[in-house]
Every structure is written in C-alpha cells, then in structure tokens.
Structure 1
Amino acid sequence: MLETPQHPDVKVQLSGEDGNVYSVIGRIQRALRQAGRGEAATEFVAAARSAGSYDEVIQLAMRTVDVS
C-alpha cells in the first residue's frame, strides 16, 4: 500500500526526465518552492543529501510529493 505524500498537491514528473540524482533533487526542490513550501524544500534537500543511495532519494521524493 502506498502512503500519501506529505505534499500531495505538489506534482513532479520524474518519468521520461533526466534521472540524474541532482536533477531529481533540483526538480523536487523547485516544485516545493513554487508551491510556497520553501522550508519543506530545504528539508527535502538536506534529507536527500544524506541519503545513502539513489533509491533512497527516489523513495524520499515519493514520500514528499506526488511523483509521476
């Protein structure tokens, strides 16, 4: 069962886009900031930087925003 992301109204498309981890982090950071969630963007980037793998960053992204 998938859990609802913390910010379900913030939608970010990852499929078909550059899969580089820095690109993914930047895309989510921008989407959160554009939605007026600057603090959440800062928290996401900090958590992503401390992640141990690419998969952890993707899982974090899916827990944070609506990823497609």
Structure 2
Amino acid sequence: MNPSHPTTENRIGSAISIEQHISGPHWEPPTIPNATTYWRCTSCHRESTREQDLHRERFHAPDCEVWP
C-alpha cells in the first residue's frame, strides 16, 4: 500500500479528524466591505469561504496534522 494514496478505510478515519479541525462559520465584522462567512482549519489555520475546501487535502498546508 502506498501511504500517499490512503485506502477508503483510512480516509474514513481521517474524516473524523478533519471534522474536529474545522471551525466556523466565522462572520467578518460588518465594517469590512463585502463581509462574508468563512471556515478555518484549526491545525494549519488556512481559511476559505467554502467549507468544502477544507475537506480537500490540497487545501491544507504541507505540515497540517489533518493529512498525515
């Protein structure tokens, strides 16, 4: 098995970890032009206006503990 291509069982285990590291939605202050909501990975601190981005391995930083 290639560790860079996890099996379905490993991905299911990772999905639990992903959910634990997603925080949001966070609301920007109304004083910011075009204020919106966003989600954040609490491990690598990357943010996106689309929650589904946090479920993609490429979104996270290389050293993020969500995708070992």
Fold conserved between structures, TM > 0.5: no
Q: Which structure shows the higher helix fraction? A: 1
Decide which structure has greater strand share: 2
Q: Which has the higher contact order (CA 8 A, sep 6+)?
A: 1
TM tier relative to shorter chain: 0.3 to 0.5
State the TM-score, normalized to the length of structure 2. 0.33
- TM-score of the aligned structures, taking structure 1 as reference length: 0.33
| Larger CA Rg, structure 1 vs 2 | 2
